[in-house]
Structure 1
Amino acid sequence: MRFFKFSNESAIWRALAFGVCVAAMPLASVAEPTHAIAMYGEPALEAGFHHLPYANPDAAKGGTIRLAESGSYDSLNPWILMGNPVWPIFTQPGLLAESLMMRSIDEPFSLYGLLAESVETDPERSWVEFTLRPEARFSDGAPVTIEDVMWSYETLGTKGHPRYTGVWAKVERMEQTGPRSVRFTFNTADRELALLMGMRPILKKAQWDGKDFSQSGLMPPIGSGPYVIDKVDPGRAITFRRNPDYWGRDLPVNRGLHNFDEIRYDYYGDASAMFEAFKAGETDVWRELVAARWDRDFDFPAIRDGRVVKSEIAHQRPSGIMGLVMNTRNPIFDDWRVREALIEAFNYRFINMTLSGGKDPRITSYFSNSELAMQPGPATGREAQLLAPFASDLPPGTIEGYALPEGGERAIDRKGIRAALKLFEEAGWTVRDGQLQNAQGQPFAFEILLNQSGSAMRSSSETRQIVDIFVESLRNLGIRPQVTLLDSAQYVERTSNYQFDMTWYERGLSLSPGNEQMLYWGSAGVEKTGTKNWMGMNSPAAEAMIAEMGTAKTLEDYRAAVHALDRILTAGRFVIPVSYSKISRLAHKADLHYPEKTPLYGDWPGFMPETWWYEERN
């Protein structure tokens, strides 16, 4: 990277502002600073808007909200690969460390100025420039400077988590262009980069002088956000306190947000313990992920006397993918026929009826429940054109159309077992003496790794029940996998290094997939640790579709590329998918409220606790 730092003398800045910044660019690339930027089209909110449509500007301030997390933590730095961090610092945008721009969760992908008062880019989006608000301050009162911004970007790009380093490699240069402005010029044609560069956390450079940013630890980071870390009980709890001197409380993007005086997260061993704590009144909100339990298990005293209420929040976001992922770094999973055989052996219909009463639909593709999802049948139009050059290397069903087996109503799905045996035989595996073996007599053996604390979307008891039913089905194929439960720290260590055969897998996907897809599915993740490519897929076709998504100039071309990627992922048969819900089910203390207008993304980072407030019921 090349960095340029100019003098702060006003005369020099006036000269540079016109002489260098304009003369160095073709006239056609000159743009105007604006308050917001969208991936396609124009942002929904014009300059001068009063508040975000899903925020209540009259929300009461004060009170405490107590939330729960499973597992534990040993680090307050979620921006690096090392350690088991406090995820609310990362997953709650702007809670502690703000970015230059803020995402609206009521639009597919639009950003509005937060630390930055304006953003500017050229029509090709080959560069982007941000101008800081002069009033921006860190929680200790120090001003947020361009030096802090540039240090944060360079540090995250070189020492941070792979989610940052991958994008940083596409930055040709970063340069200060004014007392409060910074420009990023890109070396790659990718229209999403102009937005991504507005979403990096800005940290205080002086706090990290003489410290190794790449090492995890419990030093509370200094940010510019509405909250500061108040109390730390390592591995057990953390409390955030609202900063009464928060610099940005009156910005339009913040009106009606950040209403609680205190946000507390308590950590529990597993989801069962969390639920019991919720019923006892020790936590204030419970997200129920199983429809049958929502109808069956919410008849405890706090519900009956009105202290706790049930809310259902709809959303229009993609289902994402959730289920059991097969690690193709293990050669036994390298053949698509083997993966399809295991999908056939997974009796989804019986499992869904057992766990949820069959109320929730199955994930049929990675972008189910959205206009980005692949459609049934063969690919057509632009989608087919994009896939055609890779046709010979794609698994069957990618272009022609692929659908998951439905399964049977009984525990043993004989049709699925027969289909699985046929596929295994085609792949060189046959049952001899009650055991599935290859031609060399080696058994088809693998380990299913599970987190004893459960996951973000499933409790440990639910994933174990799913796996137990699956294991019983596999016995009919002569397969007896080993099931291993680990504590959260050990589980994170092994999955981050891909030391598993099969495990539970969850990836939430947005309405504007882009560069992060390379972190999820890119070939670099086959060997590079810490990516989301747990399946170890190495697909030039998938990478080509991701690149196409970044360069598409029309929404139609963009959707075609996402549809094609969805086909590649789904027909790749890397994950045995389960069900998803079209609503979020939240049981919560009756004194907690949220706006009547809920965002496009529904219950998504940026919604709770950001838009919620405390007000005693009548």
Structure 2
Amino acid sequence: MRSVFFLKRHISIAALTLALSAQFATADPQHGIAMYGDPELPPDFVSLPYANPEAPKGGRIVTGEVGGFDSLNPHIAKGSTPWQLRFLAYESLMGRNWDEPFTLYGLLAESIEVGENRDWVEFVLREEAAFSDGTPLTVEDVMWSYETLGTIGHPRYHGAWKKVASMEQTGPRSIRFTFNEDDPEMALLIGMRPILKNAQWDGKEFDASGIDEVPISTAPYVIDEFEAGRYVSLKRNPDYWGRDVNFMRGQANLDEIRMEFYGDGTAMFEAFKAGALNSSREFNVEKWDTQYDFPAIDSGDVVKSVIPHERPSGMTGFVMNTRREQFKDWRVRDAMLHAFNFEFINETMTGSKQPRITSYLSNSVLGMQDGPAEGRVRDLLEPFAADLLPGALDGYALPVSDGTERNRGNIRAAIDLMEEAGYTINDGKMVGPDGAPFTFEILLQQGSTEEQSIIDLYTQSLERVGITPTITTIDSAQFKERTTNYDFDMSYNRWGMSLSPGNEQKLYWGCDGVDNPGTRNWMGMCSPAAEAMVDAILQSDSRDDFVAATRALDRVLTTGRYVIPIYQWNISRIAHAKELKYPTAIPIYGDWIGWQPDVWWWEEE
């Protein structure tokens, strides 16, 4: 097994502390911008620190996905799209360095300039920037992209666009955005929007496109072949405009990136074992330890790599939709958490080898601390004391079972909580005051075998509380449709969290998401305390304030009891063909967006 650990170019947590201690940098046009302080890389940097500028070009990577797709446009709410297209098939004005908490460097833009308080930002486009069809990138393309995405694009783009007071061309290749709110992060977020080709969509319905239109972009990869629901193949553009830009050196090395789609995880794993796929992420440590013993592993044709990281755990688990009557009462949600026998499930699924997610920002300096809220965290939360749920101020931890299958103590606690919420057990069934049985639907995506196995164990526990849920399994397109419109009682979801949480938190937890479809606020929460903590994060200008605000937000979210967390992945496990290589310098975000396949290459031995 190949295990790779961090090269200590710097101690990332110390770097995070130092960066957050500085005020916002203001200057003339620069090559990059950091959320706090100055970018770590100088203007003449050779490549990103985790990329190999000498990497050869060639080869291919073939990965698998469970589900299907019916659209090639990842920037609209309609349809189901291969999620990778959003990152592999498009470029933005600035690119992110995943070895810093939140720093951007010029990509389509050669420079960035901000106002004294970051109330405006101006970009100058690279003269050589061009689309894959050879036509030059223009300011008009940029302006059309921002307005289109901000108005009829996916809801993820709408929040930032609402904060733009004006967008104007200031020169042949320059564009300025002026903001209507005091939000220093906006200067960075505006630089990260995908840029589209205006002329391609002339006379066409951008927000209704599916597989009928293959988007044209500036990215190093273009969609070459596809079959709806089966596969997508992206080929490297040999005439890619940005191959000599320092940000791109050592990236886009593979000639082909292919994604194959399967009905379930078992079929996908068998395809990997048979050689139809040549790279596979494994999320179950027990399976990694016991089932990766097939001939290609034994011969060395496939190697196992373990990739560390220093990012927060994020939240992965079964989310309860508070828009539904069953889960409006926090005591009911708390009962569901007590009935979930994590210790027994974890032993069954992983041999107890994976630790549990304990909060949304656990596994990082930004996560809530044990015990009562203190100091600046308490000061931020106190004004909302009357609305906070138990544990937010006084301390909270997830229920822990005795590890046995029956989980007697927590089952008793779950029944007590349901009784406090007005339910009783009658003839072995949990019923409400009207005598109707308490039940709910658990919505799962077809092929999600691991989640299905966990739910099977969970339903056995719920039966001990007198609750029998309905489990509905649907294909990926239906799953996308229903979750986009919050048409579920309980479902499985993941929220990734960075070392620099910011505006995206409003899309995750903001009150606007209660009624507006397409946000990440699957639980339907509307918490003035959570929104105030996000505002405090955005307005922080010191390390202490930023960390306190994130820890306070983590308390509000975790004690809201909206999600039943499962285990976390504090390292990544990737099995891959021996010819697929990656640099030994691993970014602080580890195996994250922008790492595989971006900086991988193919090398024959």
Question: What SS does the corresponding residue of 2:358 show, helix, strand or coil?
Answer: coil
Matched, 1:249 2:249: no
Corresponding residue for residue 543 of structure 2: 555
Task: Give the conservation status (yes or no) of the 8 Å contact 1:40–1:555.
Answer: no
How many residues were matched structurally? 581
- Return the match for 2:71 from 71, 75, 86: 75
User: Which residue of the partner structure matches residue 13 of structure 1?
Assistant: none
Identity of aligned residues (%): 58
Residue by residue over 1:454-507, the C-alpha shift from the partner in whole angstroms, topping out at 9 and shown as x without a partner, is xxxxxx221111111110111111111111111111111111111111111211
Is structure 2 residue 143 aligned with structure 1 residue 150? yes
Deviations 1:413-445 (A, max 9, x none): 000011111111111111111111122212111
Counterpart secondary structure, 1:214:
helix
> How far, CA to CA, are the matches of 2:229 and 2:209 in structure 1?
14
Q: 1:29 to 1:363 in 2, by over 3 A?
A: closer
Equivalent position SS for 2:206: coil
Q: How does 1:17-416 map to 2 (within 5 A)?
A: 31-90=27-86, 92=87, 95-218=88-211, 219-416=213-410
Please give the alpha-carbon distance, in whole angstroms, between the structure 2 residues aligned to 1:216 and 1:312: 39
* Contact map agreement 1:288 1:586 (CA 8 A) in 2: yes
User: What RMSD in Å do the two structures reach over aligned CA positions?
Assistant: 1.2
Equivalence for 1:588: 576
Could you tell which deviates more after superposition, 547-556 or 306-315? 547-556
For residues 406 and 34 of structure 2, the distance between their equivalents in structure 1, rounded to whole angstroms, comes to 50
CA positional deviation for 1:536: 0.5
Distance 1:413 1:40 in 2: 47
User: 1:495 maps to which residue?
Assistant: 483
CA distance in 1, matches of 2:344, 2:535: 39
Q: Secondary structure at the match of 2:319?
A: strand
- CA distance in structure 2 between the aligned counterparts of 1:398 and 1:614, rounded to whole angstroms: 50
Give the TM-score of the pair, scaled to structure 1: 0.93
Alpha-carbon distance between aligned partners in 1 of 2:181 and 2:365, rounded to the nearest angstrom: 28
Match of 2:530 in 1: 542
Deviation, structure 1 residue 347: 0.5
Shift of 1:123: 2.9
Does structure 1 conserve the Cα–Cα contact (< 8 Å) formed by 2:25 and 2:37?
no
Q: Deviations over 1:336-381 (max 9, x none)?
A: 1111111001001000000001111100000011111010011112
Q: Partners of 1:582 and 1:490 in 2: how far apart?
A: 31
Q: Deviations over 1:64-101 (max 9, x none)?
A: 111112211111110010111122111x3xx3221000
Q: Deviations over 1:107-157 (max 9, x none)?
A: 110000000000011231111111101111111111111110001000000
2:214 and 2:192 mapped to 1: Cα distance? 21
Say whether the 8 Å CA contact 2:166–2:179 is kept in structure 1.
yes
Q: Distance in 1 between matches of 2:26 and 2:426?
A: 72
Alpha-carbon distance in 1 for matches of 2:150, 2:449: 39
Which of 456, 464, 488 does residue 476 from structure 1 map onto?
464
Shift of 1:216: 2.5
Q: Is the 8 A contact 2:389 2:560 kept in 1?
A: yes
TM-score, length-scaled by structure 2: 0.95
Q: Is the 8 A contact 1:349 1:409 kept in 2?
A: yes
User: Aligned residue for 2:12?
Assistant: none
- Contact 2:339 2:410 survives alignment (8 Å): yes
Structure 1 segments, 4+ long, off by >3 Å, are: 28-31
**Maintained 8 Å contact 1:127/1:183:** yes
State whether residues 29 and 122 of structure 1, in contact with CA within 8 Å, keep that contact through their aligned partners in structure 2.
no
Letter in 1 for 2:236: R
Change (3 A) 1:343 1:44: same
CA distance 1:367–1:233, change in 2 (3 Å): same
Deviations 1:164-197 (A, max 9, x none): 0111001111011111111111111111100000
Counterpart of 2:521 in structure 1 is 533
Aligned mates of 1:384, 1:126 — CA distance in 2: 30
SS in 1 for 2:168: strand
SS at 1:198 equivalent: helix
> Structure 2: how far apart are the matches of 1:46 and 1:358?
45
Structure 1: unaligned runs, 5 residues or longer: 1-27, 454-459
Q: State the alpha-carbon separation in 1 of the partners of residues 139 and 27 from structure 2.
A: 21
1: distance between equivalents of 2:150 and 2:232?
28
Distance 1:63 1:31 in 2: 43
- Residues 564 and 195 (structure 1 numbering): CA distance in 2 closer, same or farther, change over 3 Å? same
Q: Structure 1 residue 29: deviation in Å?
A: 11
Q: 2-side partners of 1:452 and 1:109: how far apart?
A: 36
Contact 2:25-2:38 within 8 A present in 1 as well:
no
Runs (5+) with no aligned partner, structure 2: 1-23
- State the alpha-carbon separation in 2 of the partners of residues 216 and 58 from structure 1: 39
Q: Deviations over 1:528-562 (max 9, x none)?
A: 11111111101011111111111111122111111
- Structure 1 residue aligned with 2:504: 516
Query: Helix, strand or coil for the counterpart of 2:196?
Result: coil
Alpha-carbon separation, structure 1, partners of 2:236 and 2:411: 57
- Equivalent pair of 1:446/1:481 in contact (CA under 8 Å): yes
Q: 2:385 is paired with a residue of what secondary structure?
A: helix
